[in-house]
Amino acid sequence: MTIIYSFLFCGFICLIGQIILDNTKFTPGHVTSSLVVLGAFLGMLGCYDKIINFVGVGASIPITSFGNTLFNSAYSGYLSGGFIGIFNELLCNVSLGICSAIIFSFIFTLLTKVKD
């Protein structure tokens, strides 16, 4: 049943993004940024952790989980090291995702041909 909940949650996030794209003049960058902020806001309220517990790993896949990770890293860094700890925890926890996105996008760029 967790697989179905994961699938539905990811589909719901994609549905929200597509509705925003179709009904507003937002660009994909605006939608992505909005979903990151939504994930951070849900993480701040403590709702996103409950969603992860209910849905499972499916809540860790969409872009909203990146916002949740940003908030949780910054908050735990602030609690452990003050203002400087925000940057320490934030960079340690998020750098793997950012580096892998850069590396995989570079590899796919080499493997595909751009159409004019």
Contacts of residue 42, defined as CB under 8 A and 6 or more positions apart, other chains included, come to: 48, 51, 64, 67, 68
Q: Are 5 and 60 in contact (CB under 8 A)?
A: no
pLDDT of residue 104: 93
Return the pLDDT at 116: 65
Going by pLDDT thresholds of 50, 70 and 90, the confidence category of residue 34 is very high
Average pLDDT over residues 19-47: 93
Q: Which DSSP letter does residue 115 get?
A: -
Q: Is the pTM of this model over 0.85?
A: no
Residue with tokens 């993004």: 17
Report whether pLDDT(93) > 80: no
Query: Is residue 41 pLDDT above 80, yes or no?
Result: yes
